[in-house]
Structure 1
Amino acid sequence: MNKSKDYNRVMVITGAASGLGKALALAAAQQGYDIAVADVQEQAGNQAVAAIKQHQVEAAYFHCDVGQAGGLLQLKDQVMAHFGRVDVLVNNAGVGSQGTVCDSTEEEWARQWQINLMGVVRGCQAFIPQLKKSADPAIVNVASFAAVALAPGVASYNVVKAGVLALSETLRCELAEAGIHVSVICPAFFKTNLVESMQNTDDKIKNQINRWMTKSKYTADDVANMILASIDNKQFMVLCDSTTQWQYRLSRWFPNYFFKQKVKMIKRMFQ
């Protein structure tokens, strides 16, 4: 249990109004966490707060655009004013993207950079000083298996998610002495609103992603429980199923074979 005799641990989740963020907020509330719901979706955020409070914990919504400089510092001030502490930071907010290196516009690269990578950096910079005051602090960064697979056709998304993985490995070392645990979550496709967040997406790619999501063996609730387990068990990298675990090993042990399999995959997609 994460519930103390004197206080509930406080978890801050960006992108908590829907999808994985909301699933995590509800699962964490069942374990006794108070929840700071940070999102740009005000109505959905307040609805999430109402659902979280049904578990007899405290929750509050804070408008936060992680893609804007200063947004996470403002969130930190608001969270501290409301809860007085923070124990776990989950950098979950993100958007999808599709396009090759040459096809992707500079605007799309900038969007991915500001939200999916710098949003995580800003969250860490804002909250680490407060996390150092916690007895059992943790940071969870939500990356993607795209950071490992680096499949063609989603170039900017691959690059920034690989950046989240690299950032997490760096933080793991930098924060070890401070006792702040770091987890990085690398799920493959599962049912979320990721496709809706994509801009200028090719319908064929969008339909393929939706099929992969539909065929997934796990859900947002499953990933949420994996995140909570990674905090409790001090697990660094979370690969959510046996297929991606094996593919990760292939990518490291047999990179040329893994590359050839990716080339075959992309040919099948566009036949």
Structure 2
Amino acid sequence: MSARRVLITGGASGLGRALAVRLAARGDRVLVTDLAAAATVPPDALYQRLDITSTDDWAAALQRVEHDLGGLDLLVNNAGIAAGGRIDRLDDAHWRRVLEINVLGTVNGCRTFAPMFKAQEGGHVVNVASVAGLIHAAAMSSYNASKAAVVALSETLRYELGPWGVDVSVVCPSFFRTNLPASLGGDDPLMETIAAKLIARAPLDAAEMAERVLRGVDARRFLIVPDRPARRMFWTKRLMRPLYDRRMLAGAARFRQAERRAGSATEPR
């Protein structure tokens, strides 16, 4: 495989950094974009500060790609934030923050580079969503909605850009060990504690997940579900819907029990 020109958002940590390390090691020319300091970027990669919600920052990233890379072969929209919470605990500010970053941040990347990919008549867009875009557990409404939107966006662009020879993939992993809990906003501490524990106990780390993701990217698969827990949940929903519904409802019942315990603890004795 010949060297590719790559831009990765959120590439200074977690899955983004793991992908950057592996792609640079292959000989690809990698531009890492992030809000974090350049010191955290893999040594073989270029760096550009990028707020994915800023159209001005995306315009600057496009100029950097044109000047330093001469085009782009692979766009990885990886940057995003974790979120969770029961619907009655989440305010307007929470929803706007999650949708602006997770959805519109990805949209901005696609909008910025679609004209270049069309002009080149080739390229590959990789949008990192989550199994939460396919499996919609309780107490994760904002995150589920944002990642489902990324899946829908990706499917749309697969057909829209396909006639220009542009591939599109969407990545839907389950929990893996990373620093994602740091982006939780404290809107629903109970749910965020549960999510942090699930991430900490996950069997795979970012490096292992990156290897699996790249296998799907190299094969130009549209839907990349890179780990066994995510695939199991996906196929349970598709093929054994009554079992899936029972499991989802059982999980939701735990939140009712937690609210009852919290209410009892605050009642006067």
TM-score > 0.5 by shorter chain? yes
- Tell me whether 256-265 or 18-27 shows the greater mean CA deviation: 256-265
What's the offset of the Cα at 1:251? 1.4
1:101 aligns with: 87
Matched residue of 1:37: which SS? Answer: strand
Mapping of residues 89-238 of structure 1, within 5 Å: 89-134=75-120, 137-238=123-224
1:56 aligns with: none
Structure 1 Cα separation of the partners of residues 83 and 100 of structure 2: 13
Q: Please, which of 18, 42, 52 is the counterpart of residue 43 of structure 2? A: 52
The answer on whether the counterparts of 2:177 and 2:206 sit within 8 Å (CA) in structure 1 is: yes
What's the offset of the Cα at 1:248? 0.8
Mapping of residues 55-70 of structure 1, within 5 Å: 59-70=45-56
Structure 2 Cα separation of the partners of residues 90 and 264 of structure 1: 36
> Match of 2:178, as an amino acid?
T
Matched residue of 2:146: which SS? Answer: helix
> Match of 1:26, as an amino acid?
V
What's the offset of the Cα at 1:259? 2.0
What's the offset of the Cα at 1:135? 6.9
> Match of 1:218, as an amino acid?
L
Structure 2 Cα separation of the partners of residues 206 and 102 of structure 1: 15
Structure 2 Cα separation of the partners of residues 97 and 220 of structure 1: 19
Q: Give me the TM-score of the superposition, normalised by structure 2.
A: 0.89
What's the offset of the Cα at 1:25? 0.2
Q: 1 or 2, which has the higher helix percentage?
A: 2
Q: Please, which of 23, 28, 37 is the counterpart of residue 28 of structure 1? A: 23
Deviations 1:114-153 (Å, cap 9, x if unpaired)? 1100111110010112223447511100000111111111
Structure 2 Cα separation of the partners of residues 146 and 156 of structure 1: 10
Instruction: Give ranges in structure 1 of 5+ residues lacking alignment.
Output: 4-8, 54-58
CA RMSD of aligned residues (A): 1.8
The answer on whether the counterparts of 1:99 and 1:154 sit within 8 Å (CA) in structure 2 is: yes
Deviations 1:147-167 (Å, cap 9, x if unpaired)? 111111111111010000011
The answer on whether the counterparts of 2:138 and 2:251 sit within 8 Å (CA) in structure 1 is: no
Instruction: Give ranges in structure 2 of 5+ residues lacking alignment.
Output: 259-269
> Match of 2:132, as an amino acid?
A
- Tell me whether 204-213 or 89-98 shows the greater mean CA deviation: 204-213
Aligned length: 257
Structure 1 Cα separation of the partners of residues 22 and 158 of structure 2: 25
Q: Give me the TM-score of the superposition, normalised by structure 1.
A: 0.88
What's the % identity of the aligned pairs? 33
